[in-house]
A and B are shown apart, each in its own frame.
Chain A
Amino acid sequence: MNLYHYASPSTFYPLAGKLIPWFAALAFILAIAGLYISFFVAPTDFQQGEGYRIIFIHVPTAWMSMFIYVVMAFWSAIGLAWNTRLSFVMARALAPTGAMFTFVALWTGAFWGKPMWGAWWVWDARLTSELILLFLYVGVMALQAAIDDPRRADRAGALLNLVGVINVPIIYFSVKWWNTLHQGSSVSLTRAPSMAQTMLWGMLIMALAAWMYTIAVSLVRARTLVLERERQTEWVRAQLEGQP
């Protein structure tokens, strides 16, 4: 199979179009299954009562926020190395969804922290690192939005993304260090309730649902980006005859 074939926007566009409904359907089914487990199968926690059910959103979205950033960095690296336009498009398409998951992870972290630890925001090492991850996402998107020339925007954002991804472990390490030194109360959102099998399954299924959702949404975004960039080509002009 000639991989370069799929690196061409004109091949990517229809292929993605066919795949999107499948990923969307998978996301929906997995979400329903995950939510069912979250509310109707997972038992009440001994220590945290019903409040702990927030982890079925908090943990999967936190995982996804980090995973997406790394995948973005992968596409950024490919784009910078081989100059393939589509790689940059994929990186750009993933960013908003990654930022969204980061925000949800922070929000649900706060909503979990308030009843459990009495404060809306705790400077827990992971929450703080997650906040910085949000800043990293916003930085890449802001940089790309500020640059008019698409080629420069692609490459600058990709470079910033890669600088960020190298720094994420360092930042996490430094924040963890800082957190242990300043450990006033032993507040830690990382102390999840002891994992019953059902809880783990619930989180995994929700994470998978989030992953399928991300692929579906990113492919839609990518297709729109491709349309804009390739608007002068014959195949796009032919596409425009049809329905959106």
Chain B
Amino acid sequence: MIWESWQAFWAMGGYGLYVWGSFGMTLLCVVAEVGLLRRHRLQVWRRLKRMKSWDSQ
């Protein structure tokens, strides 16, 4: 371990804003991409299922 305390970890030697701003945005993008992808897949699935049920009517 390099960090003396949690305080020091979050502060990142004064660069906290920049380091966490970077890692944070990356995490945000990954979460957003995965979330949007799941939502899109579900939407498509439901739509195709609906269209299929029309066909059999």
Nearest-CB residue, chain B, relative to A224:
B41
Contact A50 B19 (CB under 8 A): yes
Contacts of A57 in B (CB 8 A): 22-23, 26
Is A51 an interface position by the 8 A CB rule?
yes
Residues on B with C-beta less than 8 A from A97 are 33
Interface size class of A (residues with CB under 8 A): 35 or more
**Proximity string of chain B (44-55) to chain A, C-beta cutoff 8 Å, 1 when within and 0 when not:** 110011011000
Closest chain A residue, CB of each to CB of B20:
A111
User: When A44-B2, A244-B41 are in contact, do A49 and B13 touch as well, CB less than 8 Å?
Assistant: yes
Which chain A residues lie closer than 8 Å to B1 at the CB level? 40
Contact (Cβ within 8 A) B30 A40: no
Render A78-104 as a binary contact track against B, CB cut-off 8 A, 1 for contact: 000000000000000000110010011
Residue positions of A touching B, CB distance < 8 A = 39-40, 43-44, 49-51, 53-54, 57-58, 61, 96-97, 100, 103-104, 107-108, 111-112, 114-115, 213, 217, 220-221, 223-224, 227-228, 231, 236-237, 240, 244
